[in-house]
Chains A and B, each alone.
Chain A
């Protein structure tokens, strides 16, 4: 009797029966399959189920167990089918697993679509502002008058410490008043028959609008330039800053008119934006050029074909390659934070961040260009009897120069984009203006800066696409061309270059002094980063305290115990401001302790920051003055008293995986899921939209051309805004957090993918389309059989490419409110907890590498 065989030829172990394997799989998923000899299948099922369950327990909600149960059931059925010699496909479990993973993504990135509706109101000013940027305005001539007023009234009323203006002037009917009193203004010497506004200035000069009936107080002057207006005195000083009883403060009332005259002129906002455009471009330029200069020699060390001849150079190759990869997987903005610590805020740190990432990226691209040199021409030129130098000039350089140039140009494009957002961290360039104006709620100024970003990025993109075309198709200079013309052209280019370089150098505020003086803090950061915080030891908090009655007599001041950990105070009670000596005894030796004022309500404040360490005998000594916080007021309940406490932590166990690692792992997963959601949703929207931006689909009718152009331009404009900027607005819409980050990524990805998809659609081969049509197929059939097969592989490749980018972006989008690991990273750096921040960096490096590896594998399969 011939053995029954599976379709792939492996024998079926029928003797073990048809019922046992499903039962085994019911108990342990995959066990039945393994029992039947299909170990890989069994292990795959088992590990997938375990992994999904672990993920759900870690992050998800119970509902997600339903699809896992589905996989379990499928696995039993599969075991039964396998026993009968069949091999079911994996589409059902893969679908169920996808449901679980997307479910997790929704839960842990806090996707709440309803917030897009409830938060819309706070979005409106942003959107409206985009259509009302501050570009031009009329110059105005101004009339401004102020008059002092004392709030509140006291006896005797002192002279106000500010003088009223003379012409124009306002006269008040009172010299003093209380908040809520009415006040009558009489103005003289203003522009006649013209409107003006009234402002209130508090004692430190902060201006606020004076409100009448929920509207800003406005006045209209008569023919003589006079007006009368009644207002109420506003609450202009916070309650905590009120003057002590019996004293008064001088406020001012200000009336102002702004009459336009003359021609339109750029607004101050526009001028500032213009200046920052320069800064943005300068940073990108300098970073690209310097990056190129450093990357050139490095790339030769990272080229396999040059370095694999002997073991020493091979080791150098691996070292250089690995360092390049590590540097590259840390996003530019993360470098910006590192350099902000090193050289301080400002353009220089931003430029360094752009540069170091450029070096790593170009180093890799250059070395790959060197690796792909065609040896044929080298051989041919050498065969003519040329020497080594001649071979390089005639066979090597012409091959790598255009590739190098186009890679550099490509990097320049990226640097321009990055330099628009580097300001979110480094206080430089347009990004700085955007985030600053958003914080100040100056939306129309913000809109001006965002439109400037669109303008700069699209213009420079266009310029470099032309340049790139010339490099790729361009005719090399004929050797026969007039030498004078040839050198002249180069001289002009060189001069332009030198001027631009010097200007950029100046704008970027390059300062080697900062680089050197900041080196210790930079090194400290690097050192902490290099040693991630993987393990910690459990600790237990301890404290001792001693009451400190202020003033003496509000409570008892008992003697501290004679032995054991204790606090001794000298004196034992006193008044605010009295000198106080705090001594701690029998504490753990050489331990960091925190000495605090502990108030009766349980709140506390450190007596001195970064204090103190005990000596070898467990003593600590601190001299200070009694803090006003310790005073017991009359309205306090009787018997209440403040304490001076000493707090420390003792290690109570062996090393364990640190809390940092758990936090980082959790956030890394959220970050991954953010990238997953963003990539999925943006592909979903971009695919249908891309057809509208494909010339060959839209046809040559007027309508088609309009739609095509609108979509294409829309894609290019929205694409030019980095997700880091978008997230600022999304955070206002749906609240800061991962969901805002996902939305920002989606909004940036749709036009990005849409453009790439549209270009693919435009390049489809018409041949198969004709052939399918010739068979009598209808339009839909043609689409399915001739168009889609041509589109699927490139679309998938682009989606993978976007996924790679999104992984990187989602690690930094949290810097400005997008959630994920970046948010925590910035927090840790801000708190000087560099070892924790370092752990996050390592997690990012590992995450980026492993995802890059996976998508590279997936891409290989596609091609």
Chain B
């Protein structure tokens, strides 16, 4: 369903973020992307929905060439791909409801939406989404009044509004404490298992990878150095991705 072919990204300052990365994602997978900070995880995710334009290579989604899409076609592709971020990226001064409704912008009327007018069913959908992540009562609060975990759940609700077939998650739990991390990932797992949404999620902690992912790819200095099942990610393989000095630490801080 998603095919990444020979993807290369060189930034204007010369940094090579991705080097000839190719892999495939099948529908319904929960793909974890691991690697050190700066290994190209974020760039990879952003190339998939073209927040970053790759220098070379192709991304094919549902037999459509994402890398060649422009304008309206690109936006149509994007609205099927939800995304959540490490820093949540909510509009802090807007209400939770407005933030969630922004997930609908790809569908909304381009003129009326400018005046914050949305169809009634979008409101219903937004309520349902908020209920699903368990914070329906916070709808009228300002986003920055919420805790980090709540903000990430708003971000998930926003992504759900897109009725996505694919969910990109860029280190969604790196700014959260361990308990919240599990709760956020469980939401993603539910989406993956119940709604059949494919998830591509970059993660830092090996235990989270083992617990949630159905498949893992590892990036090192922009190159794909691992592609396999979580069970295949042995300590040797792990060191290949993270370097010799790395130690495996769980999300709760224990060494494995």
CB distance from B92 to the nearest CB of A (A): 8
Q: Which of A377, A383, A395 has the most CB of B within 10 A?
A: A383
**Contacting residues, chain A, for B92 (C-beta < 8 A):** 377
- Beta-carbon contact of B162 and A385 below 8 Å: yes
- Beta-carbon contact of B110 and A399 below 8 Å: no
- Beta-carbon contact of B85 and A475 below 8 Å: no
CB distance from A258 to the nearest CB of B (A): 62
Cα distance A379–B91 in the bound complex, in angstroms = 11
With A376-B85, A390-B114 known as contacts, the answer to whether A384 contacts B103 (CB < 8 A) is: yes
**Contacting residues, chain A, for B159 (C-beta < 8 A):** 384
CB distance from B96 to the nearest CB of A (A): 10
**Contacting residues, chain A, for B82 (C-beta < 8 A):** 383-384
- Beta-carbon contact of A384 and B95 below 8 Å: no
Choice from B89, B105, B116, B118 contacting A386 with Cβ under 8 Å: B105
In the complex, the chain A residue whose C-beta lies closest to that of B105 is: A386
Choice from A383, A389, A394 contacting B51 with Cβ under 8 Å: A383
Cα distance A395–B94 in the bound complex, in angstroms = 10
CB distance from A471 to the nearest CB of B (A): 10
- Beta-carbon contact of A383 and B49 below 8 Å: yes
Pick the interface stretch among B71-79, B188-196, B212-220: B71-79
Q: Which of A380, A390, A399, A480 has the most CB of B within 10 A?
A: A380
A278 in contact (CB, < 8 A):
no
Interface size class of A (residues with CB under 8 A): 20 to 34
Cα distance A478–B118 in the bound complex, in angstroms = 12
Cα distance A783–B89 in the bound complex, in angstroms = 42
- Beta-carbon contact of B97 and A383 below 8 Å: no
In A374-402, the 8 Å CB interface with B consists of 374, 376-377, 379-387, 389-390, 393-395, 398-399, 402
CB distance from B178 to the nearest CB of A (A): 24
Residue-by-residue, is B151-193 near A (CB-CB < 8 Å gives 1, otherwise 0)? 0000100110110000010000000000000000000000000
**Contacting residues, chain A, for B43 (C-beta < 8 A):** none
- Beta-carbon contact of B91 and A384 below 8 Å: no
- Beta-carbon contact of A390 and B110 below 8 Å: yes
- Beta-carbon contact of B75 and A476 below 8 Å: no
Number of interface residues of B (CB under 8 A): 46
Residue-by-residue, is B40-71 near A (CB-CB < 8 Å gives 1, otherwise 0)? 00000010010100000000000000000000
B93 in contact (CB, < 8 A):
yes
- Beta-carbon contact of B95 and A475 below 8 Å: yes
CB distance from A385 to the nearest CB of B (A): 3
**Contacting residues, chain B, for A383 (C-beta < 8 A):** 49, 51, 78, 81-83, 168
A2 in contact (CB, < 8 A):
no
**Contacting residues, chain B, for A399 (C-beta < 8 A):** 91, 93
CB distance from B155 to the nearest CB of A (A): 8
Cα distance A711–B83 in the bound complex, in angstroms = 55
- Beta-carbon contact of A379 and B89 below 8 Å: yes
B98 in contact (CB, < 8 A):
yes
In B84-111, the 8 Å CB interface with A consists of 85, 87-95, 97-98, 101-106, 108, 110
Choice from A374, A377, A379, A384 contacting B105 with Cβ under 8 Å: A384
**Contacting residues, chain B, for A478 (C-beta < 8 A):** 95, 97, 139-140
**Contacting residues, chain A, for B102 (C-beta < 8 A):** 380-381, 384, 386, 394-395
In B116-139, the 8 Å CB interface with A consists of 116-118, 123, 139
With A387-B110, A402-B93, A479-B101 known as contacts, the answer to whether A380 contacts B85 (CB < 8 A) is: yes
Residue-by-residue, is A782-826 near B (CB-CB < 8 Å gives 1, otherwise 0)? 000000000000000000000000000000000000000000000
- Beta-carbon contact of B85 and A386 below 8 Å: no
Residue-by-residue, is A285-309 near B (CB-CB < 8 Å gives 1, otherwise 0)? 0000000000000000000000000
**Contacting residues, chain A, for B161 (C-beta < 8 A):** 384
Interface secondary structure of B, over-half rule: mixed
With A377-B89, A475-B140, A479-B118 known as contacts, the answer to whether A384 contacts B162 (CB < 8 A) is: yes
With A390-B114, A394-B105 known as contacts, the answer to whether A384 contacts B79 (CB < 8 A) is: yes
Choice from B83, B94, B113, B162 contacting A476 with Cβ under 8 Å: B94
In B183-230, the 8 Å CB interface with A consists of none
- Beta-carbon contact of A390 and B105 below 8 Å: yes
- Beta-carbon contact of B142 and A385 below 8 Å: no
- Beta-carbon contact of A479 and B106 below 8 Å: no
- Beta-carbon contact of A398 and B91 below 8 Å: yes
In the complex, the chain B residue whose C-beta lies closest to that of A483 is: B117
- Beta-carbon contact of B79 and A476 below 8 Å: no
- Beta-carbon contact of B114 and A476 below 8 Å: no
**Contacting residues, chain A, for B97 (C-beta < 8 A):** 478-480
CB distance from A587 to the nearest CB of B (A): 71
Cα distance A399–B103 in the bound complex, in angstroms = 18
In the complex, the chain A residue whose C-beta lies closest to that of B74 is: A385
CB distance from B121 to the nearest CB of A (A): 14
**Contacting residues, chain A, for B108 (C-beta < 8 A):** 390
Cα distance A483–B117 in the bound complex, in angstroms = 9
- Beta-carbon contact of B113 and A475 below 8 Å: no
- Beta-carbon contact of B106 and A476 below 8 Å: no
Cα distance A387–B102 in the bound complex, in angstroms = 12
CB distance from B119 to the nearest CB of A (A): 12
CB distance from A585 to the nearest CB of B (A): 78
With A377-B91, A476-B93, A480-B123 known as contacts, the answer to whether A385 contacts B105 (CB < 8 A) is: yes
**Contacting residues, chain B, for A390 (C-beta < 8 A):** 105, 108, 110, 113-114
In the complex, the chain B residue whose C-beta lies closest to that of A395 is: B91
**Contacting residues, chain B, for A398 (C-beta < 8 A):** 91, 93-94
**Contacting residues, chain B, for A387 (C-beta < 8 A):** 75, 110
In A105-143, the 8 Å CB interface with B consists of none
Choice from B91, B110, B140 contacting A394 with Cβ under 8 Å: B91
CB distance from A234 to the nearest CB of B (A): 73
Cα distance A384–B76 in the bound complex, in angstroms = 9
Cα distance A389–B158 in the bound complex, in angstroms = 19
- Beta-carbon contact of A385 and B79 below 8 Å: yes
Choice from B77, B87, B89, B95 contacting A479 with Cβ under 8 Å: B95
**Contacting residues, chain A, for B77 (C-beta < 8 A):** 385
- Beta-carbon contact of B98 and A384 below 8 Å: no
- Beta-carbon contact of A384 and B106 below 8 Å: yes
CB distance from A147 to the nearest CB of B (A): 78
- Beta-carbon contact of B98 and A393 below 8 Å: no
Cα distance A399–B155 in the bound complex, in angstroms = 17
- Beta-carbon contact of B118 and A384 below 8 Å: no
**Contacting residues, chain A, for B168 (C-beta < 8 A):** 383
**Contacting residues, chain A, for B104 (C-beta < 8 A):** 384
- Beta-carbon contact of B142 and A475 below 8 Å: yes
Q: Which of A394, A399, A475 has the most CB of B within 10 A?
A: A394
- Beta-carbon contact of A377 and B90 below 8 Å: yes
> With contacts A377-B90, A475-B140, A479-B101 known, what are 12 further pairs, Cβ within 8 A?
A379-B46, A382-B78, A383-B51, A383-B82, A384-B103, A384-B161, A386-B75, A395-B102, A476-B142, A479-B95, A479-B116, A480-B123
**Can you list 14 A-B pairs with a CB-CB distance of less than 8 A?**
A374-B89, A377-B91, A377-B92, A380-B83, A383-B49, A383-B82, A384-B103, A384-B161, A384-B162, A393-B113, A394-B94, A395-B102, A479-B97, A483-B117
Residue ranges of B at the interface with A (Cβ–Cβ < 8 Å)? 46, 49, 51, 75-79, 81-83, 85, 87-95, 97-98, 101-106, 108, 110, 113-114, 116-118, 123, 139-140, 142, 155, 158-159, 161-162, 168
Which 4 pairs between the two chains have the least Cβ-Cβ distance? A385-B106, A385-B79, A376-B89, A385-B78
